[in-house]
Amino acid sequence: MRALLDTHAFLWWIGDDPRLSKTAREVLLDEDNEVYFSTASAWEIAIKARLGRIELPRNVESFISKQLDVNDFTVLPIQLSHALRVAKLPAHHEDPFDRILIAQAQIEKLTLVSADKAVARYSVEVAW
């Protein structure tokens, strides 16, 4: 499986949060799966850390870099095609970070690991 982490799934995984579902844990533990982390999630985490909405044990840059390395997650950059796909998405969800993740999952044919019920309303495979 090729999976893309929603931002909360990434944070719940690295924090061993019990809100992460059993299915999501299995996806992340399976070494045969390719797991992607979007630059959109890094952007979202950086903004929320700066605003004090989430706390990280060290600065955001070193924290995310270390977690990507430790977990062997592949960074998925935002491409022009991803950004443009957002315009074609129905308005089920207004969060711009979630919308770009949905677009990336659609274009790259990735399963989105997300607990967000609004995400499941899009034409995208979801694991939760």
pTM over 0.85? The answer is yes
Q: What is the band of 94 on the pLDDT scale with cuts at 50, 70, 90?
A: confident
| Domains, in order of start, for the chain | 2-127 (3.40.50.1010)
Mean pLDDT (whole number) for 53-61 = 87
Average pLDDT in the chain? 95
Contacts 24+ apart (CB under 8 A), 115-123: 115/6, 115/8, 115/9, 115/19, 115/21, 115/24, 116/6, 116/8, 118/92, 118/93, 119/6, 119/93, 121/90, 121/92, 121/93, 122/89, 122/90, 122/92, 122/93
> What local confidence, expressed as pLDDT, does residue 30 receive?
97
| Whether the predicted pLDDT of 7 surpasses 80 | yes
Reported in sequence order, the residue ranges of the chain that DSSP labels E, i.e. its strands, are 2-5, 34-38, 74-76, 111-113, 126-127
